[in-house]
Amino acid sequence: MPPATDAVLLDVRHLTRIFGHGAREVRAVDDVSFTLRRGEIASVVGESGSGKSTLARVLLRLIRPTAGRIVFAGQDVTRLSRPGELRAYWRQVQAVFQDPFSSFNQFFPVRRVLERSLRLEGRLEAGERDRRVRWALERVALNPSEVMGKFAHELSGGERQRIMIARALVVRPKLLIADEPTTMVDASSRATILNLLLDLRDEYGMAILFITHDVSLASYVSDTLLVMHQGKVVEQGEAGRVTAHPQHPYTRQLFADAFSLSKGRSVAT
């Protein structure tokens, strides 16, 4: 696994997102700080309800933070609100979510799904759009001639998820936020997606924030681990160190439970 570069791409400082007020206040993300370097894969792990997906949506600027700062490629993007500013941000930061079927417009064929993402790039010639769509599909090991005319219901779950990754890749982002991308696919597709994330890091220097409840998958794919519990990052560090020598009691329990369940099981099963 090649090392990430030293250049910090994402710098998150004291990020907080609160829902509700008073006695009903929920700190879904609570004073979270971390950095992500170019070419680095960092996994955010934790149980359901730990704040992982809310963190992803705040970083994507789909939800406003309550407090804290998000600095991306040297620019403070915490308060971006104008459509043009957000489009420019989303050209560089893309996401893949857990359910590829709900993310896939049922009325559009694959070609149109990917071409709609290219609207973030402004006007492109038809030939350039076609070239970019074909490149993205080939990059996720799909034959463009076979899948471009298909609709969501004609594809397997693994194919749909790879098309969602292609939709993100088509704009050539610097950062990919992958929120539980392997949860709803079979074992073979899970291994394919994990290896694809590694390839994107290795070949293009893409930074990836991989969000998962499965610590075995996180350990397999990551340079760095961040462990979330009740909205807080309770432990973070180099993946091998955190896996072998967890310091926080929650981390120790999380890993003990996960590896006792998966003993003798490969990462793809």
Q: What mean pLDDT comes out for the span 237-248?
A: 93
Question: Confidence class of residue 255 from pLDDT cuts 50, 70 and 90?
Answer: confident
Q: Is the pLDDT of residue 77 over 90?
A: yes
126 C-beta neighbours (distance < 10 Å), count:
8
Q: What mean pLDDT comes out for the span 146-164?
A: 90
Q: Is the pLDDT of residue 105 over 80?
A: no
Enclosing H/E stretch for 28: strand 26-37
Q: What mean pLDDT comes out for the span 62-83?
A: 94
- Residue 268 falls inside a structural domain: no
160 C-beta neighbours (distance < 10 Å), count:
24
- Residue 266 falls inside a structural domain: no
Q: What is the pTM of this model?
A: 0.89
Domain count, the chain: 1
Comparing CA positions, the residue from 203, 88, 207 lying closest to residue 135 is 203
Cα(12)–Cα(128) distance, rounded to whole angstroms? Answer: 35
- Looking up residue 101, the CATH number of its domain turns out to be 3.40.50.300
* Domain extent for 197: 8-261
Cα(39)–Cα(171) distance, rounded to whole angstroms? Answer: 17
Amino acid at 122: G
pLDDT in tens, 181-224: 888 777 888 888 888 889 889 988 999 999 998 888 898 899 99
- Residue 157 falls inside a structural domain: yes
Question: Confidence class of residue 101 from pLDDT cuts 50, 70 and 90?
Answer: low
Question: Who's near 84: CB < 8 A, 6+ residues apart?
Answer: none
- Residue 206 falls inside a structural domain: yes
Mean pLDDT of the chain: 89
91 C-beta neighbours (distance < 10 Å), count:
16
Q: Is 64 helix (H, G, I), strand (E, B) or coil?
A: coil
Comparing CA positions, the residue from 102, 108, 24, 28 lying closest to residue 63 is 28
